[in-house]
Amino acid sequence: MLRKIRITLATVMFIGITWLFVDFTGTAYHWFGWMPKLQFLEAVLALNVAVIIGLVVLTLVLGRIYCSVICPLGIMQDIFGWLGKKAKKNRYTFSKAHLWLRIIFFIAMFLAILLGMGTIVQLLAPYSAFGRIATNLLQPVWQAGNNVLASIAEHYDSYAFYHSNIWLKSGVSLIIAGVTLITLGVLAWRNGRTYCNTICPVGTLLGMLSRFSFLKIHFDTEKCRNCSLCTKNCKAACIDFKTHTVDYSRCVVCGDCIESCKFGALRYSIGTSRTSKTSETSQTSETCPTSEGRRSFLLASAMLTTAAIAQKKEKMMDGGLAEIADKVAPERQTPLTPPGSRSRANLEQRCTGCQLCISQCPNEVLRPSSDLMHLMMPEMSYERGYCRPECNRCSQVCPAGAIQPIAAEDKASTQIGHAVWIKKNCVILTDGVECGNCASRCPVGAIEMVPSDPNDDESPYVPAVNEARCIGCGACEYLCPARPHSAIYVEGHEMHKEI
């Protein structure tokens, strides 16, 4: 019974979260948007007190059921374990807990959060590891399937499906996701929950609580015939049939042992241990603001040197399409962070690198950062689209409070960066044509066209950016006709501000 309930709940959760990650249309969010918010580490970082208390109470009552039905990485390992069991029955054995390793990883996580070492946090965080696998490996497959349907739909003049661009957002992220998947897959196939009970800091923390949980697995020594089946089927390797003990810090309450026992010697029932001790580990202290940091808006000379001059192409024949060169991302001196993230510091502090925001971004703006210290964190760039005024999806989905909910109206008055004009790339001067696309497409009217020679009204008009009004959405950068280097690009701000 316990096992069936667990499997049912886990299936719902797993499908929901996976769907949420692969869905690029923004529909799954309406149904499953709450699921990531239940994730423990993310709730801690978001200071989501209700969820933290709920999960602590849940663990104190039911044990580490969180790891079996809420954590998608746990469920994913169960799937691999289940496949492993199909290959070879009764494959597990009891082993002692690697207490020191658990403590080391837990402290490492704690310190990494305190010290703002994003990459370590992101590598250790369980839900994020799953998120990266889903975003980097599953979403492209989902998109490819969708694109097949889209071309069929197009053929039949249906609008049920539409094409979605598949593009490599970050090679590093892809490799990390692939390595994580293979490592965890092999570990889970052979030994079950090794990762959860040795490395995962959330597992360690919940394990501390579950030792005192109200409901637990208990041996009925009268009935037990020491057949060892329970031990051999325990993916957490936490049942010692010889001594009739269960290591409750590692038990994820999957119910497999109860099911496997032929004599009904195991039951999930009220524990003999006291549950009065409340843990104080859930208290968070991650509110330390990092220093302002560099705030220089030095314009890179690198940007200027690599500018390719667009050749004015005049038509000779009718028809055909001019080639369009792909845009090249500029090297921004200060990276751009999405509206709602408030500051780069806040994003670095809270982001666990699950990349849900990246998988959800419909404008192809967000991608994993290229910064070594925050490899899996989101970063913005505008070669493939810009941060459209009506969209705030990333802020809606973020479970960790790294990107906080922001209304579309507020976004229009939140400055995340400012546009910089690069004279030598501008088509007005290179091609000798009239342009002004940046000015006319600017959603907040921060760009005006002015004569390039202030004393000559007849001189070519060039864009003038009012930095005070610019919000950094990147419409100008994306829609700039200069290729591959835009003649106007957005430099990020460390701190976002209201204008």
Partner 1 sequence: MSKLSSKKVKGMKKDITRRNFLKLLGGGAVATAAVMTGCKPKTASKAVEEYKQQVEPPVGKMTYRTNPNNQDKVSILGYGMMRLPSKTENKDDFDQDMINRQVDYAIEHGVNYFDTSPVYCQGKSEACTGIALKKHDRKKVFIATKLSNFHPDTQSREASIAMYKNSLEQLQTDYIDYYLLHAVGGAMFEFEKRYVENGMMDYLMKEREAGRIRNLGFSFHGKKEVFDEILATHEKYHWDFVQIELNYLDWDYADEISKSNVDASYLYAELQKKGIPAVVMEPLLGGRLANLPNYLAAELKSHAPERSVASWAFRYAGTPEGVLTVLSGMTYMEHLKDNLLSYCPLVPLNKQEQEYLHKKVADRIVGLENIPCNDCKYCMPCPYGIDIPAIFVHYNKCKNEGTLPRENVDAEYAKLRRNYLIGLDRAVPRLRQADHCISCGQCEPHCPQSIRIPRELRKISEFVENLRRSQEV
Q: For partner 1, which residue of 37, 267, 424, 441 counts as binding (CB under 8 A)?
A: 441
Candidates 281-289, 346-354, 374-382, 437-445; binding stretch for partner 1 (CB under 8 A): 437-445
Structure tokens at 350: 């809270």
Check residue 452 for interaction with partner 1 (CB under 8 A). Answer: no
Structure tokens at 264: 């009904």
Check residue 409 for interaction with partner 1 (CB under 8 A). Answer: no
Check residue 389 for interaction with partner 1 (CB under 8 A). Answer: yes
Question: Cα separations (Å) of 163 from 25, 134, 167, 174?
Answer: 11, 19, 13, 22
Q: Where are the alpha helices (DSSP H) in 330-415?
A: 344-350, 356-360, 393-397, 408-411
Burial of 296: CB neighbours in 10 Å, binned 0-12, 13-18, 19+: exposed
Residue number, 222 or 390, with CB nearest to partner 1: 390
Minimal distance in Å, beta carbon 385 to partner 1? Answer: 8
Residue number, 255 or 463, with CB nearest to partner 1: 463
Residues 143-162 that bind partner 1 (CB under 8 A): 154, 159, 162
Check residue 98 for interaction with partner 1 (CB under 8 A). Answer: no
Residues 376 and 122 sit within 8 Å (Cβ to Cβ): yes
Minimal distance in Å, beta carbon 94 to partner 1? Answer: 54
Check residue 388 for interaction with partner 1 (CB under 8 A). Answer: yes
Give 394's DSSP letter: H
Minimal distance in Å, beta carbon 350 to partner 1? Answer: 27
Cα dihedral 105, 110, 113, 116, rounded to 10, equals: -80
**CA–CA distance, 132 with 18 (Å, rounded to integer):** 11
Q: For partner 1, which residue of 1, 50, 321, 372 counts as binding (CB under 8 A)?
A: 321
Burial of 424: CB neighbours in 10 Å, binned 0-12, 13-18, 19+: middle
Minimal distance in Å, beta carbon 409 to partner 1? Answer: 12
Check residue 323 for interaction with partner 1 (CB under 8 A). Answer: yes
Residue number, 222 or 318, with CB nearest to partner 1: 318
Q: For partner 1, which residue of 86, 315, 454, 455 counts as binding (CB under 8 A)?
A: 315
Candidates 47-55, 72-80, 206-214, 318-326; binding stretch for partner 1 (CB under 8 A): 318-326
Pattern of binders to partner 1 over 32-61, x per CB under 8 A? ------------------------------
Task: Return the closest-CA partner of residue 193 out of 8, 66, 104, 107.
Answer: 66
For residue 163, report the phi and psi dihedrals to the nearest 5 degrees.
-65, 140
Minimal distance in Å, beta carbon 401 to partner 1? Answer: 24
Minimal distance in Å, beta carbon 93 to partner 1? Answer: 54
Residue number, 353 or 385, with CB nearest to partner 1: 385
Candidates 328-336, 367-375, 384-392, 450-458; binding stretch for partner 1 (CB under 8 A): 384-392
Residue number, 280 or 390, with CB nearest to partner 1: 390
Size of interface with partner 1, in residues (CB under 8 A): 33
Q: For partner 1, which residue of 222, 280, 314, 457 counts as binding (CB under 8 A)?
A: 314
**CA–CA distance, 211 with 60 (Å, rounded to integer):** 8
**CA–CA distance, 354 with 65 (Å, rounded to integer):** 22
Give 456's DSSP letter: E
Query: End-to-end distance of the chain based on CA atoms, in angstroms?
Result: 58
Q: For partner 1, which residue of 178, 271, 481, 484 counts as binding (CB under 8 A)?
A: 481
Minimal distance in Å, beta carbon 417 to partner 1? Answer: 21
Give 373's DSSP letter: G
Exposure on the CB side of residue 306, measured as CA atoms within 13 A: 13
Give the helix/strand (H/E) hosting 118. Answer: helix 118-124
Minimal distance in Å, beta carbon 459 to partner 1? Answer: 17
Those residues with Cβ within 8 angstroms of residue 152's Cβ, 6 or more apart along the chain or in another chain: 161
Residues 275 and 60 sit within 8 Å (Cβ to Cβ): yes
Check residue 427 for interaction with partner 1 (CB under 8 A). Answer: yes
Q: For partner 1, which residue of 275, 437, 452, 466 counts as binding (CB under 8 A)?
A: 437
Minimal distance in Å, beta carbon 390 to partner 1? Answer: 5
Check residue 468 for interaction with partner 1 (CB under 8 A). Answer: no
Pattern of binders to partner 1 over 183-202, x per CB under 8 A? --------------------
**CA–CA distance, 375 with 119 (Å, rounded to integer):** 6
What three-state secondary structure class fits 315? Answer: coil
With b for 16 or more beta-carbon neighbours within 10 A and e for fewer, the 11-30 pattern comes to eebbebbbbbbbbbeeebbe
Task: Return the closest-CA partner of residue 250 out of 98, 104, 55.
Answer: 98
Minimal distance in Å, beta carbon 321 to partner 1? Answer: 5
Residues 286 and 45 sit within 8 Å (Cβ to Cβ): yes
Q: For partner 1, which residue of 444, 479, 495, 499 counts as binding (CB under 8 A)?
A: 479
Residues in touch with partner 1 (CB under 8 A): 154, 159, 162-163, 312-324, 385, 388-390, 408, 427, 431, 433-437, 440-441, 479, 481
